[in-house]
Amino acid sequence: MTHESTAVGLASAYSNATTASGDWWRDAVIYQVYVRSFADSDGDGIGDLRGVRSRLPHLARLGVDAVWLTPFYVSPQADGGYDVADYRAVDPLFGDLADADELVRAAHGLGLRVIVDVVPNHTSEQHPWFRAALAGEPGARERYLFRRGRGADGSLPPNDWESIFGGPAWTRVADGDWYLHLFAPEQPDLDWTHPEVTAEFDSVLRFWLDLGVDGFRIDVAHGMVKADGLPDIGRGAQATLIGTQPLPFFDQDGVHEIHRAWRRLLDSYEGRRIGVAEAWAPSSERLALYVRPDELHQAFNFRFLVCPWDPEAMRTVIDESLSATTAVGAPTTWVLSNHDVVRHVTRYGGGRQGLARARAAALLMLALPGSAYLYQGEELGLPEVTDLPPESRQDPAFRRGRRPQTPVPASAPAPGSGPAAPGIIAPRDGEPPAPAPCGPAPEPQLAPQPHGHTGPEAEPGTCPAPEAQGHTGPGAGLGPEAGGGLGPEADAGPGVDPLTAPEAEGQDGLRDGCRVPMPWGGAEPPYGFGPAGSWLPQPPAWADLSVAAQTGDPHSTLELYRAALELRRAMPGLGAPGAGPSPDPRGMRWLHAPDGVLLFTRPGFACTLNTRPDPVELPAPGRPVLSSAPVETDGRTVRLPADSCTWWAL
């Protein structure tokens, strides 16, 4: 029995209780579109909103419920649009406001909801507020985190905080003050204690809600509030601590009041508009605080993303995640890949093994209670592109260098963003680190990664995974030998000048590999991405992975995803937590299984996952309806292939 033998007739008018009641997000499958890389309508090699609109039928046929769009706002593009200069306008690179309006209407016409990114932790250096701050406009600096430096002449940063991208988190301006940027210097952090900041983002959210969007993915939802006094941390390599222990710049209790206010705003609109937290917290319990009944609707489950290919680790993450969110009455939100992490085909070993595991992991994720996010191209089984030439890379962390200690003229350009804002000390690029070697390892053991906002760390011979959701967080697998810097034995504490200390550990700068534009069809690049080329080069082998090549092939990854999403809608036991009667309040129960195998049931449904490198036999849980690889069964016993997942009707 192979996955193509699923009964298409199983699809029905069934609608689970949460969908019928309007709580659509509780079991929604949401597809992330990285706008630059999805579809190009005008031939400039860069994806745009008209291109996205033209490809919406693919998403409708795939069977997803909503689409999440990465930032398309006016931006110098210093960090792929996560440096916003105007939150109410579309960057000409991607179209205009009319294109955004037409895209939302077209999506709604196909039954797809639309979620857009909002970036509230920081603005672009080109934002009018920050330009006013540098120009000395009275009160303008109070919207940001400007401070005097330490030392007799103020030449040392105000504290020892480090940028997630590496190096100090402070930049000095011409008059001697310093401003905080937890990410690139072109992304100054806002001060959320200022009432104008609160009022401005309320207005921004209303602007897009009035246009018709169905919700927001909130970038760095854990970062807007900093600890009083901005205290030192006392050690370097701070990016490795995110998500593992409390930090004074992330997951402060004050962020929850912001999210409560936004929930009230969202609830004031018809149509069940939602907020999705891109948040890292030291525990599942802390993460669950973001989805309490009066806060946001979803929070990405990054612990699942970084989980190794190990059944006990997977079961632990699933149980702890479901327990934490169930305690606050919220769904768990599962994810395997996004625009900042090495694609999971490659993380799981690459080649045939990586693809087999990725297909199995997708079925596991889609069988779990709650909501799931898909990253564009994962439905095609796309691997990470590991051999991009250095000159094509655009990740701002790719070239991390120490900055000069003296102001530069206002006319000097700021890297990646055109003319510099007045008075900024521009960063100086260092030599780019050599790309980490990538390739499949015989049996990669993906260890849980201590890096906050990261992907999993791979063993030697596999690709190190850059950070997980959002544009934030460090890369995985970094160390001094890979262009990292400070470890515990070389911390830059108080009294050590971060401008002359070794570079702090941050992202590895290799996030472009998961952002290579989509292949839609054709025998050679750009594979239908647009009329001309693509902003990142596409591999020659992608012709066989395109949407056109896989459509109609019952063995393809695309048809596997389509079948899975169809069955997910058709089978009453799938989707929302608690659907149907069950002894378990989550509607899910683990059953005994051989070593290396996971087996759980939901009402009328069972799922088996074989993580072993060899087939395994066990009693058939029911009637197989979908499998990531061919299964052999006589109705009483079943032989599960290596690295496979199978769905069963009970």
Q: What is the DSSP letter of 120?
A: -
Distance CA 169, CA 316 (A): 35
Is residue 126 helix, strand or coil? Answer: coil
Q: Per this entry, what is the length of the chain?
A: 650
Which residues have CB under 8 Å from 571's CB, separation 6+?
10, 14, 604, 605, 625, 649
Helices 351-367 & 557-570 angle (0-180, nearest 10)? 10
The rounded radius of gyration (Å) of the Cα atoms in the chain is 24
Per the annotation, the verdict on 481 as an active-site residue is no
Distance CA 390, CA 36 (A): 19
Contacts by 4-8 with C-beta closer than 8 Å and gap 24+? 4/554, 4/555, 4/559, 4/563, 6/563, 6/566, 6/567, 6/625, 6/626, 7/625, 8/566
Burial 633-648 (b: 16+ CB within 10 A, else e): beeeebebbbbbbbbb
* Residue 271 region by backbone torsions, left for phi larger than 0, else alpha for psi between -120 and 50, else beta: left
Burial (CB count <10 Å: 0-12, 13-18, 19+), residue 150: middle
Q: Is the bond preceding 526 in cis, omega lying within 30 degrees of 0?
A: yes
83, 117, 278, 503: the active-site residue: 278
Distance CA 647, CA 650 (A): 10
Distance CA 585, CA 608 (A): 21
Q: How far is CA 38 from CA 52, 168, 377, 545, 596, in A?
A: 6, 34, 9, 15, 37
Distance CA 325, CA 328 (A): 5
HEC sequence for 478-508: CCHHHCCCCCHHHCCCCCCCCCCCCCCCCCC
Which residues is 216 bridged to in the sheet?
A: 116, 275
Strands 623-627 and 597-602: unpaired
Which residues have CB under 8 Å from 437's CB, separation 6+?
461
99, 125, 219, 295: the active-site residue: 219
Asked if residues 212 and 104 have their Cβ atoms less than 8 Å apart, the reply is yes
> Count of alpha carbons within 13 Å of 492, Cβ hemisphere only?
25
Asked if residues 178 and 153 have their Cβ atoms less than 8 Å apart, the reply is no
Per the annotation, the verdict on 278 as an active-site residue is yes
Tokens of 108: 């709604």
Tell me which H or E stretch contains 50: helix 49-54
Distance CA 207, CA 158 (A): 36
Asked if residues 589 and 28 have their Cβ atoms less than 8 Å apart, the reply is no
Burial 262-276 (b: 16+ CB within 10 A, else e): bbebbeebeebbbbb
Q: For residue 33, which phi and psi values (nearest 5 degrees)?
A: -105, 120
Tokens of 505: 């550990």
CA 72 to mean position of chain CA atoms: 16
Q: For residue 542, which phi and psi values (nearest 5 degrees)?
A: -80, -5
Among all residues, which ones are annotated catalytic? 219, 278
